[in-house]
Structure 1
């Protein structure tokens, strides 16, 4: 499987610097990187930070977490088919909500090929101290990018006094107690630290041990040969899930149908669409603590 990292953070926080550093670290460890860059404008000047020879897909004039979700899926499929790489780095626009960005990367079409390592949020430490000067909507997104991160870089720490840096670290930790926080300058972070990240639940469904509970994460449910359900059974199961399950999408085998149906879930609403090709019966689940939920057709 190929590892995937999402780089999140506001414009000017240091995401592109992290991307350039990350590419260098991967190459130094003998790994081949690929990059997807997402910007809202028509020109992506940040693409100059990507070294020659690194497979690069650019998404302009659209947010990865909105209408760009389908484009992201197409870009990933294109990279899987056309390029030789080991690790995919996705730099999201500063306007991307982490849950939406993560959702855009997951697809039942290539869920078996990718290992989503997690979201690295680069937070401008100085901006954090002045977050109350932001508009409510901007501040909310800023906090959400930190709240859902798997690793937080309190960047530009050299611009703060020791007292201010301690305050920033303490307050960010209170907002997201699941993610480690690194105080960084120029978004420099040891590669071995990033390598230990994981946002994909694996193994059997069981109660998570202390210290191994996954925060925002994913799980792939594969339906076995001959396994099928009624739509009512699936809907009943969905209603039994906690509110911390944010997204589901995939192909579910339904009794009486020759092909699995396309199923999507978001914001408490489900959608079913007929599928006229025989797709792999996989369902991707995204949320907090997905390693602990009872899965369809199984028990804890």
Structure 2
């Protein structure tokens, strides 16, 4: 298998700078590096910088890989041969919603020759949570990370460093704060360990304990679970279910029918930082079924499935379309 690394971080945080340190450190150990760069305008410029370090670089100019350029990204990943001794790094642009992208990278069966996705988020110590209306996106990019790199620490005081480190630890206690050298050592060890494994299992759910290479385990705290809903549910009960989702669920969405209007199907969304439920009337395909997709860290998947099953009223039917 090939370790799959998502490199995230807000605009200007220093993601490409981190790669210019990571790539030589991996190459020094004989690990081949492939990089997919996603940037609105300058992907080819950054690609030239990294190609000089003997990385195999694919630039993706255009929209964000979590939405408009997602298909282009996946097509690139599908075509990479399952060669051992290599690492695939995706440098996402600063506007990427990491929870959406990780869900695709986790659940897509055509990516079975990669490990479950790891995420390193680069944080600018000078600008952490000083981005006005973009602060929520910056926090979201940390919430799904397995590793965090704190950049530009030489530009801030020791007090500022401590404040930022404390905030990151509180936001995501599972993430490990690393240097580029330490992360390179970690990736080299993982690359060696998974070299003889041909593929990972993809069963719709990927949620487990923190990765621990030293003890021979490659698990991942981030997960995406797709769970079926009853044919129809009580509207108020479903709203309570969404409002009471545990903090481990970063994002949730899906399709739902309500007992008081069983002929209608809705797209439902629970967005990060919001307690309310968003509903949009849908015109689904004939075979569309009520479902929920849950994205998060250390989610109680079995508990969620039990709570969903209990929402269906007895004897409810759906009128013929």
Task: Give TM-score, length-normalised by structure 2.
Answer: 0.63
- What is aligned with 2:79? 78
- What is aligned with 2:223? 217
Structure 1 residues 141 and 288: CA distance shift in structure 2, 3 A: same
Query: 1 CA distance for matches of 2:88 and 2:77?
Result: 9
Task: Give TM-score, length-normalised by structure 1.
Answer: 0.66
Match of 1:173 among 169, 172, 178: 169
Shift of 1:154: 1.3
- What is aligned with 2:185? 192
Which 10-residue stretch deviates more, 188-197 or 143-152? Answer: 188-197
Query: 2 CA distance for matches of 1:196 and 1:236?
Result: 44
Query: 2 CA distance for matches of 1:71 and 1:6?
Result: 16
Shift of 1:57: 1.9
Query: 1 CA distance for matches of 2:20 and 2:146?
Result: 20
Query: 2 CA distance for matches of 1:24 and 1:33?
Result: 9
Contact persistence 2:4–2:117 (CA under 8 A): yes
Contact persistence 1:64–1:72 (CA under 8 A): yes
Query: 2 CA distance for matches of 1:210 and 1:4?
Result: 16
Task: Give unmatched runs, 5+ long, in structure 2.
Answer: 191-199, 213-218, 255-266, 271-278, 288-292, 307-321
Task: Give unmatched runs, 5+ long, in structure 1.
Answer: 222-232, 250-264, 275-283
Structure 2 counterpart SS, 1:192: helix
Matches within 5 A, 1:5-24: 5-24=5-24
Matches within 5 A, 1:53-64: 53-64=54-65
Contact persistence 2:106–2:117 (CA under 8 A): no
Structure 1 residues 104 and 211: CA distance shift in structure 2, 3 A: closer
1:33 matched to 2:30: no
Contact persistence 1:37–1:58 (CA under 8 A): yes
Contact persistence 2:209–2:298 (CA under 8 A): no
Alpha-carbon deviations, 1:169-188, whole Å to 9, x = none?
A: 11221222221224x5xx55
Query: 2 CA distance for matches of 1:43 and 1:154?
Result: 23
Structure 1 residues 245 and 15: CA distance shift in structure 2, 3 A: closer
- What is aligned with 2:297? 288
Match of 1:267 among 266, 269, 274: 269
Query: 2 CA distance for matches of 1:85 and 1:196?
Result: 10
- What is aligned with 2:150? 154
- What is aligned with 1:139? 135
Matches within 5 A, 1:44-55: 44-52=44-52, 53-55=54-56
C-alpha RMSD of the superposition: 4.2
Query: 2 CA distance for matches of 1:69 and 1:210?
Result: 27
Structure 1 residues 273 and 176: CA distance shift in structure 2, 3 A: farther
Structure 1 counterpart SS, 2:36: strand
Contact persistence 2:25–2:181 (CA under 8 A): no
Shift of 1:126: 0.7
Flag the structure with larger Rg.
2
Aligned residues: 250
Query: 2 CA distance for matches of 1:247 and 1:111?
Result: 23
